[in-house]
Chains A and B, each alone.
Chain A
Amino acid sequence: MGVRRRVGVATVAALTAMGMLGACSKDTEADSAPASAGQITLVVDSFGDFGYTALAKEYEASHPGVKVQLRSVQKLDDYKPRLTQWLAAGSGAGDVVALEEGILNEFKTQPQNFVNLMDQGAGELEGNFLPWKWELGKTAEGQLIGLGTDVGGLAVCYRKDLFAKAGLPTNRDEVSKLWPTWDEFIATGKKFQAAKTGAKGFVDSVTTSFSALLFQNGETNFYDKDGQLVADSNPTVKASWDTVMQMVDEDITAKLQTWSKDWEAGFKTGSFAVTMCPSWMLGIIKTNSGPANAGKWDVAAVPGGGGNWGGSWLTVPTQSKHPKEAYELAKFLTSPQGQVGAFKEAGPLPSSPQALDDPAFLALKNDYFSNAPVGAIFGTGAKALQPVVLGPKHQAVKERAFEPAMQAVEQGKLTPEQAWAQAQRDATKEAKL
């Protein structure tokens, strides 16, 4: 009867483990309950590294009675569903919650989940933020639900060695002068492709170019100012679409999907010479390219002016028990000095003009990217942007209707006309509230 003895042993093990269950779980009560008079804990939810460790300590020191707990999940893909679950269940979210631009736009359609920061007196803070960043934190009805943290100002990252092979200039100022407009960018691409450098395409994909174009071409995109879907009639959308279709037609792309294996590997193998890069992308390019390619990349201006990809806001969910204190904390973290502090700790590109003018920021260079003065390049780009009105489901329409349609054309599965029709159909579906 070996089994019975073994079962006995297992019982002991299980009981011991049961005992540990209690021991191992964190004592939530002790953390959040006001143990001593007036002591409160504010939980900050974010993803990745917002650079708030030192700032939290500083805030605790200057606000006795307040404890700041930073909770962070590293991957944005993991962050969003859990946040949604907290909001859906009405419990679990932190007092200050970071929202990335894609999430923010969708959550703006349900503003009742977030404290209107205008009610807390946030109106006075407008001058602390780039105008377009400030506007994006507001809902269609004018409620302010988010204070800007960082932005994802766009630049172009390019491979100097491939440019040299194709007989193109390699100096970053001369490269920027190659493409004041998208037509000239496409012409450069054709020249590059004709030189047969061994690269698959001039630029990695069409989707990021499409994002930049949308931002540059007009003050509205898929939605008009009243929040109506106008993806089929807005000339901004059509013009941007036509430009990227021309890029496909002239065969200057490597036909890669951003974040795919081929795309990641393409940085190392040199399957494209140019990619649209927001500031936060520099680390990704460095990792994907590897130490062997150090000094081959450089940073130049985006065709047609600036653009933005990514960036976040801090919000206060209505389920927070301490909305007033949470707002004060969010205000501190997004203030110009807070943004400089975060930048020094983790490097996100500030959304505050004062922070962008900070000498520490302006002096920033990146040695992997041939010592490019990235602080000045990205800061100038971010400050030049004009506000754009993005509709409630902007991100969904762009990423889940238009981008697959464009990629289907690149794959040769659809003609541009069929793809346009599919994008419109899917846009209607995505825009449904």
Chain B
Amino acid sequence: MTVEVDDELWSAIGDPTRRRMLDLLLADGEGTATSLSEHLPVTRQAVAKHLGVLDRAGLVHVTPVGREMRYRVDDGQFARAVAQLAAVGTAWDARLRRIKRIAEAVQRAQGSNQAGPEQERRDEGVRHG
């Protein structure tokens, strides 16, 4: 089983500057390239570029207000991005549980496990690093 990953969405949310921009937009409800650049160590032009990436990935909505473009986060697409990211971590949890099950079955089959195979320490062993 693999995780389907939407590359555009991933690369959009994978950049730290863009994540900070999303963060700022979420905190303030909306923002412009100018307002965002005041909080970021990059130029307004760079911010505008990043906003373009977020827009193409569907993560923000754009509304022209006067001479400025105002941006808001798209809740649905943002939730989708989060769900995809969640799938990657849980994929490894599932693989490791399978590794554990298989290895313990092999060990039991070899009959050399003195640890008491019935006392399966099932999920207790799973720990996030």
- Whether chains A and B associate is no
Q: Which residues of A contact B (CB under 8 A)?
A: none
Q: Which residues of B contact A (CB under 8 A)?
A: none
